[in-house]
Structure 1
């Protein structure tokens, strides 16, 4: 087991039989926090979490500050939030240009991936402070011209590497037909992948409401936070294809939303007295909870979105039910699609009986 957990998917020998899924929870890294000082915990967190390390540290510092009754400056809260959002941008780009082509049996864009990986450290360089943005009660200053220029670079990069057109033009599209038109015209890996989903009939797999009255499935994916976006809402029930498109919607929105946080138009998550720190990571909502007594951490809990989405009543299990009637080859491919649509960061294995 790892600090992020692992998913095992077992395809049945008989078509129509249930697809098995086992979620192996992450190793209990919270034991490392007990008895440590909050400052020590903040050094441990990014070391044990290779996935979404910024979001993990962000949730941790909010939980610890809440438990300690600390209220950091608004500019520090904004800096943390924008750094986490930039990490989300990087992760969504990497999925679209590296992982999605692999699902089609193709190679991803290595050069574009390198550009995406460079954005978070370049963005972090726009903040100055003795302890960085994620120190307890840290004070940071933002170089707004530098950050604005970088957001301009990110916007131009997304237009070229992901959308093949201006993000606002892409966001103005509505329904399957206009999305297919984009997929056929744009020369990007994201467009090819969406077009492939449509052409192979896989875009509409598992097209059922993910949440709502009478629905017992737990959905803590990134789709949920974008479900009301006009483009996404125009696609109807959140089928597998729509879940991939949700990441593109988020990519198109993120540069503008990051600007909004930087200039104070949008508020950032703040510490809560309950010791609860919750942030939106690339794969969904991430929760840390801490109890601190006499300067030492006495209790610590982490609830990653993976634990919800791959639970017995999670959305992944519900999606896998939809592929049970397929033949073995299609089952195998669609199992990969399900995992990548729900949580592309989790380690997993698809096994055939």
Structure 2
């Protein structure tokens, strides 16, 4: 079994990032025909695959002067919004209730899976799901019981989930869609908002082949030396607060807690 990509060292009342070895997939993309890269990116990423694929497609299109049709782009942008809603909603229904001593809301999670994986989005049903989970009081209880410095993190994540149906409705109504940029010939850059934040892909293409590829992902930024994760962890007091912090950050990779030299 592979060890967790992120290890949090917790001793006494102090927590810090002890190890952060996030998997990098960019090396697998170099020398690959540019046209094949977006699909490869989707297959390489088990979490936020739609967001990764869209960012890749937009970056490749910008680097190769390819025009992506409105219909195809809208379909993929909607899939990204639904994916983001699902990612946060599943954490809210299945993982976060334990933080406040409650059982998972399995039925709500199953309903969310059906709604967000539908081929044709039902915006009204998505909005009703958001209203229902809010009416259950779980989001409010979670924010109320969170450590003070972590409550805004949970609030922002829940608020973003709640806005997903509105953003999907906007796409269906003709709102502007994300596009890549071409800062120089053969270079494409694209940014997409996923469940955990802003995802950026940058690619350089020469003669139809990928020469260089960089993925700037939210988890990597947050756990960098200048990211917010070290600061949030440093403010934790006690093991429970450390666990709250890691759920608030919600890295897209496995994590473990090293407490007094023992792996918890």
Same fold (TM over 0.5): yes
Q: Structure 2 residue aligned with 1:275, among 182, 185, 188? A: 188
Question: 2:98: which partner in 1?
Answer: 102
Aligned equivalents of 2:134, 2:172: Cα separation in 1: 25
- Of the three residues 117, 122, 140, the one matched with 1:191 is 140
The RMSD of aligned alpha carbons is 2.0
What secondary structure is seen at the aligned counterpart in 2 of 1:19? Answer: strand
Q: By how many angstroms is 1:248 displaced?
A: 2.0
What 5-or-longer segments of structure 2 have no aligned partner?
A: none
In 2, Cα distance between equivalents of 1:321 and 1:20: 6
Query: In 2 relative to 1, CA 46–299 (structure 1 residues): closer, same or farther, beyond 3 Å?
Result: same
The answer for the alignment partner of 2:24 in structure 1 is 28
The TM-score with structure 1 as length reference comes to 0.67
Give me the whole-angstrom Cα distance separating, in 1, the residues matched to 2:23 and 2:159. Answer: 33
The match for 1:133 is none
What are the Cα deviations for residues 126-173 of structure 1, in whole angstroms up to 9, with x where unaligned?
3xxxxxxxxxxxxxxxxxxxx4xx11111111211x111xxxxxxxxx
Structure 1 unaligned spans of 5+: 127-146, 165-186, 206-239
Deviation at 1:72, TM superposition (A): 1.4
Aligned residue for 1:275, secondary structure, equals strand
Greater C-alpha Rg: 1
Is it true that 1:151 corresponds to 2:118 in the alignment? no
- Structure-2 change in CA distance of 1:28 and 1:92 (3 Å): closer
Corresponding residue number in structure 1 for 2:254: 347
Structure 1: distance between partners of 2:42 and 2:207: 24
Equivalent residue in structure 1 for 2:112, among 112, 116, 130? 116
Q: Which residue of 2 aligns with 1:335?
A: 242
Q: State the TM-score, normalized to the length of structure 2.
A: 0.89
2:11 is matched with 12
Over 6 Å off, 4+ runs: none
In the alignment of these two chains, the number of paired residues is 255
Aligned partners of 1:263 and 1:245: how far apart in 2? Answer: 28
